Amino acid sequence: MMLHIPGVLTPEQVSAMRARMEAAPDWVDGRESVGAQGAPVKRNRQLREGSPLSVELGQMVSAALLANPLFFAGVLPLRVLAPYFNAYGGGEHYGPHVDGAVRAQRGGLPPVRADVSTTVFLSAPDDYDGGELEVADAYGTHQVKLPAGDAIVYPSGSLHQVLPVTRGERLASFLWTQSMVRDDAKRALLFELDTNIQQLRAAHGESAQTVGLTGHYHNLLRMWAEVA
C-alpha cells in the first residue's frame, strides 16, 4: 500500500530545516549507508549519520510523523529508525533497488525490520526537475513528487528508485519503520476498515454498527499484531 500523508511538517518547519541543512558542513557520500547492492546505483549526498544536526532534525521528523493520525493508521508503527536526510542535484540519482530487510540502530538499540519506507519531501516540486520517487508494485509503476512537508509511505520490499535531478536540488528525509503488522496486505485491510469506520462515525455518529466494526478492527489487530 502506498499512502500520501499531507502536511507532516509545517511550512515554517520545512524552511527552518532547509536553512540548517543548506548551511551544514557535514554532507557525505550517500553510499555510506548502503550495502553491496545499492552502492553501484546510488549517487547522492547525505547528512552524516549520527551528526548533531542529523539527530536534531531527525527527532523533529519522527515526532511529526508519530503525532500524525494518518501515519499511525496506515503504518501501525512499532519501531521507527532515526531518519536520514539526503540531497540530489546535478544529475544525481538512486537507481532501482529494494531496501534492506533489517536495519541496525545506534546506541545498542535493537535492530529494526524495515516493513515500511517513508520519504518526507523538503523541496517544493517547482524547485527541481526530475527527482521523482518511482515505486513499482503489483498495480504498476508510480512516480511521486510531493509538496514540501508531505510524506509518502510504501512497502520497503517494493522495487523503487529516485530519478535523476536535472535542475535545482531535491532535499528530503527518509526512514524505515517496523510495523506491528508486518504483512502489507493485512495493514492495507486494517487501514481501509479504520478509514471506513471513521467516515461512518463522522457521518452518522456513534452507533451499534460502528461499535461492532471497531470491535472487528481491534480483534483483527489483536490477531495479527506483533508487539515484542
DSSP string, 118-152: EEEE-S-GGGEEE--EEEEETTEEEEE---TT-EE
Q: pLDDT of the chain along its 228 residues, tens only?
A: 999 999 999 999 999 999 999 999 989 999 988 877 778 999 999 999 999 999 999 999 999 999 999 999 999 999 999 999 999 999 999 999 999 999 999 888 899 999 999 999 999 999 999 999 999 988 899 999 999 999 999 999 999 999 999 999 999 999 999 999 999 999 999 999 999 999 999 999 999 999 999 999 999 999 999 998
170 bridge partner residues: 88
Residue 10, all three cell numbers: 509545517
Question: Residue 169: which H helix or E strand, with range?
Answer: strand 165-179
Give the right CATH number for 184-224 from 1.10.40, 2.60.40, 4.10.860, 3.40.50: 4.10.860
Helices (H) and strands (E) in the chain, counts: 5, 16
Rg of the chain over CA atoms, in angstroms?
18
Domain boundaries, the chain: 3-179, 184-224
The sign of the CA dihedral 29, 34, 36, 37 is: negative
pTM comes to: 0.95
| Contact by Cβ (8 Å): 177, 79 | yes
Kindly indicate whether the domain formed by 3-179 is annotated with CATH number 3.40.50.1820.
Answer: no
Q: What angle do CA 16, 94, 166 make, to 5 degrees?
A: 70
Bridge-based pairing of strands 151-155 and 3-5 is antiparallel
- Distance, in Å, from the CA atom of 180 to the CA atom of 227, rounded to the nearest integer, reads 6
Contacts 24+ apart (CB under 8 A), 218-222: 220/186, 220/189, 220/190, 220/193, 221/76, 221/180, 221/181, 221/190
